[in-house]
Amino acid sequence: MAAVSDHGLKRIVWKRIKDTIIADCKKSEVWKILILDPFTTKLLSSCCKMSDLMEERITIVEDLFKSREPVLEMKAIYFMTPTSKCVDAFIADFKSKPKYKSAYVYFTDYCPDDLFNKMKSSCAKHIRVCKEINISFLPQEAQVFTCDDPGAFRRIYSPHSQDKSKTLETLADQLVTLCATLNEYPGVRYKKDNNMQNAKTLAELVDNKLARHYELDDSGKKKEKTQAQLLIVERGFDPVSPILHELTYQAMAYDLIDIQNDTYRYKSKDGSEKHALLNEDDMLWVKLRHHHIAEVSEQIPKMVKEISASKKQPDGKITISNLAQMMKKMPSFRKQLTEKTIHLQLAEDCMKHFSNNVEKLCKAEQDLAVGADADGTKVKDPMRTLLPVLLNPFSKHDKIRAVLLYIFSLSGTTDENLNKFIQHVKIEDEREFILNWKELGVPIITTASFFSRKPNRKDRSQEETYNLSRWTPVIKDVMEDAVENKLDSRDWPHQSECPAAWNGSGAVRWGIRKN
Provide mean pLDDT across the span 15-31: 81
Distances (CA, A) of 325 to 267, 275, 331, 408, 498: 17, 20, 10, 50, 61
- Greater confidence, 238 or 507? 238
Provide mean pLDDT across the span 221-250: 92
Residue 371 sits at the vertex; the CA angle it makes with 365 and 377, to the nearest 5 degrees, is 110
Provide mean pLDDT across the span 234-260: 95
- Among 171-175, 258-262, 321-325, 338-342, the range scoring the smallest mean pLDDT is 321-325
Q: Does pLDDT of 14 surpass 90?
A: yes
Provide mean pLDDT across the span 293-308: 83
Q: Distance between CA 276 and CA 267 in Å, rounded?
A: 11
Which residues is 129 bridged to in the sheet?
A: 104
Q: Distance between CA 213 and CA 177 in Å, rounded?
A: 9
**Above pLDDT 90, what percent of the chain?**
62
What is the CATH superfamily name and number for domain 9-138? Answer: Sec1/Munc18 (SM) protein, domain 1 (3.40.50.2060)
The secondary structure of 73-85, three-state, reads CCEEEEEECCCHH
| pLDDT at 227 (0 to 100) | 87
Other C-beta atoms lying within 10 Å of the C-beta of residue 286? 17
Domain assignments of the chain as residue spans, ordered by start: 9-138, 149-238+475-514, 249-381
Predicted confidence (pLDDT) per residue in 49-100, tens digit? 888 888 888 889 999 999 999 999 999 999 999 999 999 999 999 988 899 9
Helices (H), ranges, 95-190: 113-123, 152-157, 164-181
Q: Distance between CA 206 and CA 188 in Å, rounded?
A: 8
CATH code at 249-381: 3.90.830.10
- Among 28-42, 309-323, 333-347, the range scoring the smallest mean pLDDT is 309-323
Q: Does pLDDT of 486 surpass 70?
A: yes
| pLDDT at 218 (0 to 100) | 62
Q: Does pLDDT of 505 surpass 50?
A: no
Predicted confidence (pLDDT) per residue in 116-134, tens digit? 999 999 999 999 999 999 9
Domains 9-138 and 149-238+475-514 share a fold: yes
Q: Distance between CA 429 and CA 423 in Å, rounded?
A: 10
The terminus-to-terminus CA distance of the chain in angstroms comes to: 23
- Among 258-272, 299-313, 471-485, the range scoring the smallest mean pLDDT is 299-313
Q: Does pLDDT of 460 surpass 90?
A: no
Predicted confidence (pLDDT) per residue in 38-52, tens digit? 999 999 999 988 888
**Above pLDDT 70, what percent of the chain?**
86
CATH topology of domain 149-238+475-514: Rossmann fold (3.40.50)
Query: β-strand 138-141 against 144-146: which pairing, if any?
Result: antiparallel
Q: Does pLDDT of 165 surpass 50?
A: yes
Q: Does pLDDT of 399 surpass 80?
A: yes
| pLDDT at 514 (0 to 100) | 32
Distances (CA, A) of 109 to 105, 112, 139, 262: 12, 9, 16, 27
Instruction: Annotate 181-221 with DSSP letters as a single string.
Output: HTT--PEEEE---TT--HHHHHHHHHHHHHHHHTSS-TTSS
| pLDDT at 7 (0 to 100) | 60
| pLDDT at 322 (0 to 100) | 58
Nearest to 183 by CA among 140, 135, 147: 135
Q: Does pLDDT of 254 surpass 80?
A: yes
